Amino acid sequence: MFPADKKIKSYFPKQKLWGLIAYQPFWGLTIKGWLSMMLTLLAIAILVVINIHSFLAPVAPIEAEALVIEGWIGDDGIQGAIAEFQQQDYQILITVGTPLLRGAYLSEYKNFAQLSAATAIKLGFDPEKIAIIPIPPTKRDRTLASAIVVKKWLKENYPQINAINLYSKNVHSRRSWILYKKACNPEVNVGIIAHPPVDYDARSWWTSSEGFREITGEAIAYIYAKFFS
């Protein structure tokens, strides 16, 4: 028991404004504590900067019968996909793509699937081993829509194929991988191959405006794909 009413009051917080606010003592960081916290956050930030590119641009292929190209990846990406196909034991190369965003009225190719397939053939790839899968126009979640169409096409045309590798562009690859796995698993397993950047050095992406834009944009898009798509 407390010895007196006067001392009892000292154990309770001081209140004002009819008890709406109160003074309460609390623990706070010292200068040493603030410095330790800032150094810890700085170390975490450095680790993120160093490792985020390899995280967003994974190379994790699996043993697969089909190689799927995201048709918009560009000519250098198509060359990389052809090299990958020739080095492994794939049965078929699948080009996927939505309608062209520009120049469709001037081109004989109306979508990225046709354009990338024609490019691969021009580069010497066997047309008998190419499957073209155009994706209908869609305003959002184009990658997820593409993955759903690919899965349906495989089921109808190559039901024996239960594993694919997706060939995508640079730091877009992690996001595409998530969405393809979401659409295709568990019936079809999905590996990923990220085509390296040609506009900047991945090891020092923060020194390039192009690298900075791609990393920051895709990091935000990855969070959306991971948690909201």
195, β-bridge pairs:
169
Q: Report pLDDT for 16.
A: 75
156: exposed, middle or buried (Cβ count in 10 Å: 0-12, 13-18, 19+): exposed
Q: Report pLDDT for 12.
A: 57
Percent of the chain past pLDDT 70, that is, above it, reads 94
Q: What are phi and psi of 191, to 5 degrees?
A: -105, 175
Q: What is the mean pLDDT of the chain?
A: 91
pLDDT surpassing 90 at residue 1: no
Q: Is residue 124 within 8 Å of residue 162, measured between CB atoms?
A: no
CA 124, CA 113: separation in Å to the nearest integer? 17
What is the DSSP annotation of the chain? Answer: --S-HHHHHHTS-EEETTTTEEE-------HHHHHHHHHHHHHHHHHHHHHHHHHHS-EE--S-SEEEEEGGG-HHHHHHHHHHHHHTT-SEEEEEEPBPSS-TTT-S--BHHHHHHHHHHHTT--GGGEEEEE----SS-HHHHHHHHHHHHHHHH-TT--EEEEEEEGGGHHHHHHHHHHHHTTTSEEEEEEEPPSSS-GGGGGGSHHHHHHHHHHHHHHHHHHHT-
- 108, two tokens: 């004989």
pLDDT classification of 87: cutoffs 50, 70, 90: very high
Give the predicted TM-score (pTM) of the model.
0.84
Query: Residues with Cβ < 8 Å from 16, sequence gap 6 or more?
Result: 22
Average pLDDT of the residues in 33-38: 94
Q: Report pLDDT for 10.
A: 54
To the nearest 10 degrees (0 to 180), the angle between helices 112-122 and 75-87 is 60
pLDDT classification of 168: cutoffs 50, 70, 90: very high
Using omega within 30 degrees of 0 as the cis cutoff, is the peptide bond preceding 134 cis? no
Q: What are phi and psi of 217, to 5 degrees?
A: -65, -45
